[in-house]
Amino acid sequence: MSEEIGVVVTGVSGRMGQMLVNEIAKHPRMHLAGAVERAGHDWVGKDVGTAMGGAAMGVIVADDPLECFARAQAVIDFTAPAATVAFAELAAQARAVHVIGTTGLSEDDLTKIKAAARHAVVVRAGNMSLGVNLLTVLTRKVAAALDEDYDIEVIEYHHNQKVDAPSGTALMLGEAAAEGRGVDLRDVSDSGRDGITGARKRGDIGFSAIRGGDIVGEHDVLFAAAGERITLRHVASDRALFARGALKAALWGQDKAPGEYDMLDVLGLSDD
């Protein structure tokens, strides 16, 4: 597909929302078709460009998502779980590709998103960067090559405003490690250790969350055995990385059949 597409950004005043507006403005095959914030937010009714402190863009921030989605080919959504579930249904009604970056989604939220994906394309990933998606492939391979003598720990580092833990990326990496080992992450996940926890259980996959300052997002997968340790590490130093991945997903989804996809599909890494 070569023609230009219109994109709506939800949660437009947020850290990722503003990054997305800037990346769309630079993109040769996209334009900003709408900008959505929650009802009552002080950006609603203002031009998105001036609200961001720059020149007017001719797009007024709205709190009515369906009206915006109806005139777009894609919705890029980095907001919060309840909002994302509602947007999934509305994007499906509008037959717009819904790119979901929101993390902290519950099993129930995921079931609702899956239902919406029966009618439209959904691309969802806890991390939209090439590097992290490649790291999931490597994590699966290393976990498959090592036995349970190697304790697997996922350590994530984020800024002090992040509201969910473990991060979406940490869960992707944990899932990849569990898949490599041939186990279900739900049976072996160990997060939030505190107090007299007892010794580490063999075969568990542990999660630790660090929160501080302005850390964009860093992830380590540690394989620790007697006498040696292997660490796989990804460092994101610029949120534009995630925004550019989301734009790629929005374009990729344009000619796909309805269904739920992830960034491994978009990046052509799903068979590795």
Q: Which residues are annotated binding-site positions for NAD(+)?
A: 11-16, 37, 101-103, 125-128
- The Cα 249–Cα 52 span in angstroms is 24
Q: Which of 7, 16, 99, 143 binds ligand NAI (CB under 6 A)?
A: 16
Q: Is 103 in the site for ligand LZUJQKHR (CB under 6 A)?
A: yes
Q: Is 84 in the site for ligand LZUJQKHR (CB under 6 A)?
A: no
Q: Which two tokens stand for residue 198?
A: 């007892």
- From residue 72 to residue 111, what is the string marking binding to ligand NAI with x (rule CB under 6 A)? ------xxx--x-----------------xxxx-------
Q: How far is the CB of 173 from ligand LZUJQKHR (least distance, A)?
A: 9
Q: Is 136 in the site for ligand NAI (CB under 6 A)?
A: no
Give the per-residue SS3 of the chain.
CCCCEEEEEECCCCHHHHHHHHHHHHCCCEEEEEEECCCCCCCCCCEHHHHCCCCCCCCEEECCHHHHHCCCCEEEECCCHHHHHHHHHHHHHCCCEEEECCCCCCHHHHHHHHHHCCCCEEEECCCCCHHHHHHHHHHHHHHHHCCCCCEEEEEEEECCCCCCCCCHHHHHHHHHHHHHHCCCHHHHEEECCCCCCCCCCCCCEEEEEEECCCCCEEEEEEEEECCEEEEEEEEECCCHHHHHHHHHHHHHHHHCCCEEECHHHHHCCCCC
Q: Is 10 in the site for ligand NAI (CB under 6 A)?
A: yes
Positions annotated as catalytic residues are 158, 162
Q: How far is the CB of 234 from ligand NAI (least distance, A)?
A: 12
- Residue 224 pairs in a beta bridge with 151, 229
Could you tell me which stretch among 34-42, 165-173, 224-232, 249-257 binds ligand LZUJQKHR (CB under 6 A)? 165-173
Q: Is 264 in the site for ligand NAI (CB under 6 A)?
A: no
Q: Interface residues for ligand LZUJQKHR in 104-143 (CB under 6 A)?
A: 126-127
Could you tell me which stretch among 18-26, 59-67, 110-118, 164-172 binds ligand LZUJQKHR (CB under 6 A)? 164-172
Q: Is 14 in the site for ligand NAI (CB under 6 A)?
A: yes
Residue whose CB is less far from ligand NAI, 125 or 152: 125
Contact between 136 and 173 under an 8 Å Cβ cutoff? The reply is: yes
Binding site for ligand NAI (CB under 6 A): 10-11, 13-17, 36-38, 41, 78-80, 83, 101-104, 125-128, 168, 242
Binding site for ligand LZUJQKHR (CB under 6 A): 103, 126-127, 158, 162, 167-169, 217
